């Protein structure tokens, strides 16, 4: 089965459709599938629901799809850093389903494992619990959360072999593995594709059984928030002066 494609547009050809649910990896701007998001924007696919920890910033990540009004709903745990997100939500143009971070990760993992729902204490007694089934075990209330079964998963990894085995780099792993698991089709962008058999099996973070299409590309790796402090001698680093 061919999994390696030339670019993001080819990898998404025949996959995109209006109104689909897309699970997207990343945390802030770390480990986001920036090339695939740009290809979705260029394809003009609309009325999308995104399950993603956040929505990027105004001009990067899912934020570029908010600018073009291609997203109708976000399933997220954090929505800061994006003025257009705030504007659309407050004006009623964008639906929002708030989900605690750990719950969102488990909803993705559950969907990828074929589990339709699970009970958790997170959110009990808050607006998160409104309208959800509540069970009591040993005197403690738990609310029912549904697994996420996405039409498409788009994720970013560091390395892949030609069969789709993935290695993520440090904190860029974040939501990528559970997002990849819950998609009926999973498309991955990576920094490097290596020959099959060259990855140490003990170092693989996600097996290729979950991955359907792969592209290799150049990534911006933008920093979301840069915070610096003066050196004791009052000098600054060249990077701070630039």
Structure pTM? 0.91
Q: Are 79 and 116 in contact (CB under 8 A)?
A: no
pLDDT at 100: 97
Whole-number pLDDT of residue 229 = 80
Per the model's pLDDT, the better-predicted residue between 240 and 206 turns out to be 206
Please tell us whether the domain made up of 8-116+149-216 is placed in CATH 3.60.20.10. Answer: no
> pLDDT-based confidence at 239, cuts 50/70/90?
very low
pLDDT at 241: 41
Supply the pLDDT for residue 240: 44
């Amino acid at each position: 089965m061919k999994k390696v494609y030339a670019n993001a547009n080819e990898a998404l050809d025949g996959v995109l459709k209006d109104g689909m649910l897309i699970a997207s990896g990343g945390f802030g701007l770390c480990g986001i599938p920036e090339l695939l998001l740009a290809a979705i924007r260029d394809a003009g696919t609309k009325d999308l629901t995104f399950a993603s920890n956040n929505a990027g910033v105004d001009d990067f990540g899912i934020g570029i799809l908010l600018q073009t009004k291609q997203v109708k709903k976000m399933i997220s745990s954090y929505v800061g850093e994006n003025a257009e997100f705030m504007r659309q939500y407050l004006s009623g143009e964008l639906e929002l389903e708030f989900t605690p971070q750990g719950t969102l990760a488990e909803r993705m993992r559950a969907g990828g494992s074929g589990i339709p729902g699970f009970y958790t204490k997170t959110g009990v007694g808050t607006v998160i619990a409104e309208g959800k089934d509540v069970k009591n075990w040993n005197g403690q209330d738990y609310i029912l959360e549904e697994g996420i079964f996405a039409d498409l998963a788009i994720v970013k990894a560091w390395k892949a072999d030609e069969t789709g085995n993935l290695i993520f780099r440090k904190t860029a792993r974040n939501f990528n593995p559970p997002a990849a698991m819950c998609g009926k089709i999973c498309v991955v962008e990576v920094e490097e594709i290596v020959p099959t058999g060259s990855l140490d099996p003990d170092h693989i973070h996600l097996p290729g059984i979950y991955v359907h299409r792969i592209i290799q590309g150049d990534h911006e790796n933008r920093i979301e928030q840069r915070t610096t402090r003066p050196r004791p001698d009052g000098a600054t680093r060249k990077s701070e002066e630039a």
